[in-house]
Amino acid sequence: MSGGQGLAAARGWPLDHIGMAVADLDAALAAWARLGFQPHRMEDVPQDGIRVAFLAWEAGELELMAPVGPDGAVARFLAKRGPGLHHLAFRVDDVASVLRELAHDGVRLVDRVPRPGSRGTRVAFLHPSACEGVLTELVEAAHGQ
């Protein structure tokens, strides 16, 4: 498969969510509630050491991620940079095949194979250096969602 086809496919990826690192989930929910955003799903993601809340709006979701302990990528992010934008996530049909395509095209990856995300999804992260400093996630929805 050529790199050109990969880029063409990428242009069609819908935004799935925007990930925000927060230190205190309740305080973050209160802040977003003042703007009219309400959580519709809360979930513990023990494999990432975080608790997440999803807030929906027309174009996608906000994912508020709060660490539940001192370890994990989100805790390290907060210690280094403070709360704020953490990642963008795009929806794809088949994470594994997109990863193969991107690796073939020389795109730097954090995850070379998909791993479990929240909501029963399969996810993978591209390295921020591949996307001008923004951590980028690919999300493959669980079947039936």
The site for Co ion (CB under 5 A) is made up of 19, 63, 89, 137
| Between 3 and 14, CB nearer to Co ion | 14
Interacting residues of 49 by C-beta distance below 8 A, sequence separation 6+: 67, 68, 69, 71, 72, 73, 74, 75
CB of 2 to Co ion, least distance (A): 29
CB of 123 to Co ion, least distance (A): 7
Distance of alpha carbon 47 from alpha carbon 61, whole angstroms: 21
**DSSP-derived 3-state class of residue 64:** strand
CB of 52 to Co ion, least distance (A): 8
